[in-house]
Amino acid sequence: MKSFEELRKEIENFQIENADALEAFRLQFLSKKSEIQSMFNEIRNIPPEERKQFGQLINEIKDFANKRFDEFKSTYDNRANAQSAVADITRPDTNVSLGAMHPISIMMDQVRRIFEDIGFSTVTGPDIEDDWHVFTALNFAEEHPARDMQDTFFIELHPDILLRTHTSSLQVRTMEAQQPPIRVICPGRVFRNEAITSRAHCIFHQVEGLYIAENVSFADMKQTLLYFSQRMFGPDVKIRLRPSYFPFTEPSAEMDISCYICGGEGCNLCKHTGWVEILGCGMVDPNVLENCGIDSKKYSGFAFGLGIERMTMLKYKTNDIRLYFENDVRFLEQFKSATK
Ligand code: PHE
């Protein structure tokens, strides 16, 4: 049997680094089968006159072991808590999935990449604009009904400040800042005062494009948009232009692509017409060029604008624009594989 002194030293020197060591300590000194317990069992072999003192000594040792155990336990618990607080930051939880890009971002990137491949650069700018950049410079006369088609959100105290209704405002900013040749695309969020339905929203995204140089023709525009459509929807896609009206382009057109689902035969997506509208376009009105300090006798160009939600709905065959803003993870997760 160990002496009291040896036992005391052992208890004192016992190093507790982790939960296993703490348990080992408990088994060795405090459990029913511990050394201290077996000393209690020795009492009956001790001469009666020494028993009292012997008993006292074991009790002291036992108290000492209990005290050490409690100290170790509380330091260990504190350390474990501190460690797990740190581990939360550094260790990935097994249940956290990586997530995916939002379908709107995926589509914006795809459109951008196609135009960047043919020499367009990307410009971005403010969502909060002034009347000049959104309307006046773009040839919207002051009381012209075309403004109603793009009603937006104004600030009562400063009616000149508004949320942009299209990213054409960035085309104005670009033309004001540089002389041709200009080849830019303008992706961004836009706003319109519209009731929210499955097909319209007061917030959506556009990519608009602008190409100004000498001798740019309607045929250049057609070819550029055909190239874009075939890269986006497949090499067999055809385009058609229908006359339209925008204050800032003359002539103006809406562009349809042949339905890439039915190949033009007629289906639900194209409402049995064989064609699906995807963008507006036209030759930049000379007034707009002059408003922005560009010589309209020397330069000409084309512009186009497409709605990203609409393109995304067409490409991924979803029928409710609100899905793109609700951010229901069950919907968004379906685009994981499209991120690459
Ligand atoms: N800015 C137009 C719109 O938002 C789209 C467009 C851009 C049309 C350029 C023609 C040329 O509706």
Distance 280 CA to ligand 1 centre (A): 5
pLDDT at position 86 over 70: no
Tens-place pLDDT, residues 186-200: 999 999 998 888 888
Sheet harboring 121-122: ordered strands across? Answer: 121-122, 182-191, 203-213, 300-307, 275-284, 249-258, 239-246
Specify the pLDDT at position 95: 67
Looking at the fold, whether 77 and 178 belong to one and the same domain comes out as: no
Confidence of residue 183 (pLDDT cuts 50, 70, 90): very high
Distance 304 CA to ligand 1 centre (A): 6
CA-closest residue to ligand 1 atom 5: 305
> Are the beta carbons of 193 and 330 closer than 8 angstroms?
no
Looking at the fold, whether 271 and 135 belong to one and the same domain comes out as: yes
> What is the mean predicted confidence (pLDDT) over 198-227?
95
Q: Could you tell me if the CB of 188 is within 6 A of ligand 1?
A: no
Tens-place pLDDT, residues 104-144: 999 999 999 999 999 999 999 999 999 999 999 999 988 88
Question: Cis before residue 187, ω within 30 degrees of 0?
Answer: no
Distance 195 CA to ligand 1 centre (A): 20
Q: Could you tell me if the CB of 134 is within 6 A of ligand 1?
A: no
Residue after which a domain boundary falls, among 85, 116, 135: 85
Tens-place pLDDT, residues 145-160: 888 888 888 887 888 9
Domain-located, residue 328: yes
Tens-place pLDDT, residues 279-332: 999 999 999 999 999 999 999 999 999 999 989 988 888 888 899 999 898 898
Domain-located, residue 219: yes
**Torsion of the alpha carbons at 132, 133, 139 and 144, rounded to the nearest 10:** -60
Q: Could you tell me if the CB of 307 is within 6 A of ligand 1?
A: no
pLDDT at position 85 over 90: no
Distance 169 CA to ligand 1 centre (A): 10
Q: Could you tell me if the CB of 168 is within 6 A of ligand 1?
A: yes
Residue after which a domain boundary falls, among 55, 85, 115: 85
Q: Using CB atoms within 10 A of its CB, is residue 111 exposed (0-12), middle (13-18) or buried (19+)?
A: buried
Of the chain, the percentage scoring pLDDT greater than 70 comes to 94
Phi, psi of 124 (to 5 degrees): -125, 165
Looking at the fold, whether 211 and 262 belong to one and the same domain comes out as: yes
Looking at the fold, whether 224 and 302 belong to one and the same domain comes out as: yes
Q: Could you tell me if the CB of 166 is within 6 A of ligand 1?
A: yes
Residue after which a domain boundary falls, among 51, 85, 119: 85
pLDDT averaged over every residue in the chain: 89
Please give the residue range of the domain that contains residue 63: 4-85
